[in-house]
Structure 1
Amino acid sequence: MKSIPKQPHILASYFRVGQLLHWSLILFILESWFYWTMFEGALEKNSLLVIAFWMSCFLFSFVHIFLVIMDGWSRFQNYKRAKDLFFDHGFNTKVAEMYTGSKCQRNAAIVAADELGYKDEILSFYKKKGVKWYHYMPYFMSQDPWFLFRNYFWERTFLEKTYTPKYNFHSMSIEHAL
């Protein structure tokens, strides 16, 4: 059996993988609450234009709550798959390349690599690829302006299939420590 570092609890990994998304979730919840209160205030004044404006803002924020939750779940599936692949093959640039597309996907791969002791390698790989810390927008958004109408966007961003890990890394790290 391969030697692996002590593994964090799966919930800790889940929150590390989606850290940016979880902060966004809090922001969208607060925005939705704010926009709803503004909408309620506009209802009392009966101004149709103002009512429509605040309702649009509320709906935008409210829908994003669910999109962020789905994105976080999808990134967690990426993390589990990447961790299995890094465990099977060691640090592999082909695996890291699979998760280059967006900040959240890269973070999933970085957390997976870090938990297996490959953090320096993956950070070095992304640096050589020209990825900067401020590259938040997924690259495909600038390459394909019609991305919203493409299946790959919806499947890869929000509808990633559930991945069942091949290994129980937590029990493997405990066995190795004994």
Structure 2
Amino acid sequence: MIYLELPPQPHQLVSYLRVGRLLHWSLILFLLESWFYWVQFEASLEQFSFFWVFFWFGCFLFSFVHIFLVIMDGWSRFQNYKRAKDLLFIHGFNSKIADMYKVSKCQRNAAFVAAEELGYKNEIMNYYHSKGIKWFHYVPYFMTQDPLFLFRNYFWERTFLEKVYVPKFDYRSLHQERAI
């Protein structure tokens, strides 16, 4: 079942920014943190206190690595968004589709943006609400269920290494065709 009235579709860049808005704010935070820690690291080099050199360099590395992790996570969530949008367009709102993206706040956001762009905003909000998912559930559920998640392939594949998904439809063109 294809949704008959397709709402106006934003540019893909707008969708990308909306899908990863939490991740983009995190990126800015990690950039600022990295700069701050680097400045502290350089100051500790001048004083040559081994403890502070080690401490500030460790903080810098932690923040710097997270810059790339957040970028990869944002890219993966955009792949989720494109897949969710195609599935919702083809099948309409379906709880099985929504369940595929309920694991983390970022994945839910990808599904939410896709649903909103297709006119299913209320359906997906009501569904996640009925499942007891609140707006403040930021920590992915697998992190609390599996303390060794860092050593699992599924974590790395679903979080940072999502495969490229090419959308099946050009939604902006479809909207323009149906508007005529």
TM category, shorter: over 0.9
1:106-149 per-residue CA deviation (whole Å, 9 max, x = no partner) reads 00000000000000000000000000111000000000000000
In structure 2, C-alpha distance between the alignment counterparts of 1:50 and 1:26, rounded to whole Å: 25
In structure 2, C-alpha distance between the alignment counterparts of 1:43 and 1:171, rounded to whole Å: 57
Structure 1 residue aligned with 2:55, among 47, 53, 74? 53
In the alignment, structure 1 residue 33 sits paired with structure 2 residue 52: no
AA aligned to 2:171 is F
Could you tell me which runs of 5 or more consecutive residues in structure 2 were left unpaired when the two chains were aligned.
Answer: none
Q: Superposition RMSD on alpha carbons, in Å?
A: 0.7
Aligned to 1:7: 9
Secondary structure, in 3 states, of the residue corresponding to 2:108? helix
1:23-53 per-residue CA deviation (whole Å, 9 max, x = no partner) reads 0000000000000000000000000000000
Secondary structure, in 3 states, of the residue corresponding to 2:132? coil
In structure 1, C-alpha distance between the alignment counterparts of 2:77 and 2:179, rounded to whole Å: 29
Structure 1 residue aligned with 2:151, among 149, 152, 156? 149
In structure 2, C-alpha distance between the alignment counterparts of 1:36 and 1:93, rounded to whole Å: 47
Aligned length: 178
Aligned to 2:163: 161
Aligned to 1:23: 25
In structure 2, C-alpha distance between the alignment counterparts of 1:119 and 1:45, rounded to whole Å: 56
Could you tell me which runs of 5 or more consecutive residues in structure 1 were left unpaired when the two chains were aligned.
Answer: none
Secondary structure, in 3 states, of the residue corresponding to 1:3? coil
Aligned to 2:109: 107
How do 1:65-84 residues align onto structure 2 when only pairs under 5 Å count? Answer: 65-84=67-86
1:135-176 per-residue CA deviation (whole Å, 9 max, x = no partner) reads 000000000000000000000000000000000001111111
AA aligned to 1:88 is I
- The alpha carbon displacement at 1:177 in A equals 1.4
Identity of aligned residues (%): 70
Taking structure 2 as the reference length, what is the TM-score of the superposition? 0.98
Deviating beyond 3 angstroms after TM superposition, the runs of 4 or more aligned structure 1 residues are none
